[in-house]
Amino acid sequence: MTKIRIAIQKAGRLNEESLQVLKDCGISIDNGKDQLKASSRNFPMEVFYLRNGDIPQYLRDGVVDIAIIGENVLVEKGTDIIIAEKLGFSKCKVSLAVPKSVKYNSVNDFEGKRIATSYPNTVLNYLKEKGVKADLHIISGSVEIAPNIGLADAICDIVSSGSTLFKNNLKEVEVMLTSEAVLAVSPKITVERKELLEKLQFRIQSVLRARG
Ligand code: PRP
Ligand code: MG
């Protein structure tokens, strides 16, 4: 039997809420995230627990058919991937921030500055549009520490509650994009699996409507 293959974040902010949506859709997944792959008992679905940043490539290659992923990841790494449905959770911003003590006037202040980030494409495109050239330091996590240790003058990262910025004495000065969890689709999805996707989307839409 054909099954639809869905990628879910392995660990992190999206993991729990992604599984909750499936559950609310009446789809029971057999084993937890300790295994990298699981199946549903009552819907033709296989679940793959993957790293966020890898998911766009899996979709592109057609190794998975669909994914629950943050829009911010698609903006950074998967502008070619189609969004079927916005899911209304895991809302966040991708923002530029500077030390609190710095007087900030405009985006032009970033000219020639060192920016630490895990979102190089997002920052580069944003600054390019504004005609600003900066020097990027690409790091994969704990980005907000960079100004404190002298690695960078500013940072670009996800802002959710704002507490990481606050704790590191940083202030948000430019919001580059707002993001939420979405249902993304592989460009290589087969006709058969597209039918399963439609069934799933039908359920998701009623779950979202009930959530209001
Ligand atoms: C994420 C993100 C920000 C923070 C934003 O980091 O990179 O640092 O959460 O959330 P907040 O505004 O609610 O504080 P995460 O904790 O996932 O760790 P990482 O950056 O080391 O991956
Ligand atoms: Mg972080």
The ligand 1 atom at the shortest distance from the C-alpha of residue 157 is 7
Whether residue 174 is found in the same domain as residue 193: no
Q: Choose one of 52, 93, 164, 175 to mutate for the ligand 1 pocket test, by most ligand atoms within 8 angstroms of C-beta.
A: 164
Nearest to 74 by CA among 83, 64, 61: 83
Q: Contact, 118 vs 141, CB < 8 A?
A: yes
Please give the pLDDT value at position 12: 86
Q: Choose one of 160, 170, 179 to mutate for the ligand 1 pocket test, by most ligand atoms within 8 angstroms of C-beta.
A: 160
Q: Contact, 120 vs 82, CB < 8 A?
A: no
User: Distance from the CA of 197 to the center of ligand 2, in angstroms?
Assistant: 32
Burial of 16 (0-12, 13-18, 19+ CB in 10 A): middle
The answer to whether the Cα torsion of 74, 75, 79, 85 is positive or negative is positive
For the chain, the domain total comes to 2
> Is residue 33 predicted with pLDDT exceeding 80?
no
User: How far is 119 from 37, CA to CA, in rounded Å?
Assistant: 28
User: ipTM value of the model?
Assistant: 0.96
User: Distance from the CA of 52 to the center of ligand 1, in angstroms?
Assistant: 13
The answer to whether the Cα torsion of 176, 181, 183, 186 is positive or negative is positive
β-pair partners for 154: 115
> Is residue 30 predicted with pLDDT exceeding 90?
no
Q: What 3-state class would DSSP assign to 44?
A: coil
Q: What CATH number did the domain enclosing 129 receive? A: 3.40.190.10
Q: Whose CA is nearest to atom 7 of ligand 1?
A: 158
Whether residue 131 is found in the same domain as residue 74: no
Whether residue 118 is found in the same domain as residue 65: no
Q: Render pLDDT for 73-130 as a digit per residue (tens, 0 to 9).
A: 999 998 899 999 999 999 999 999 999 999 999 999 999 999 999 999 999 999 999 9
Q: Which domain holds residue 108?
A: 92-179
Find all residues with CB under 8 Å of 123, minimum gap 6, and list them: 96, 115, 117, 134, 136, 156, 176
User: Distance from the CA of 158 to the center of ligand 1, in angstroms?
Assistant: 6
Whether residue 110 is found in the same domain as residue 37: no
Tell me the whole-structure pTM to 2 decimals: 0.93
pLDDT band, residue 13 (cuts 50/70/90): confident
User: Distance from the CA of 70 to the center of ligand 1, in angstroms?
Assistant: 13
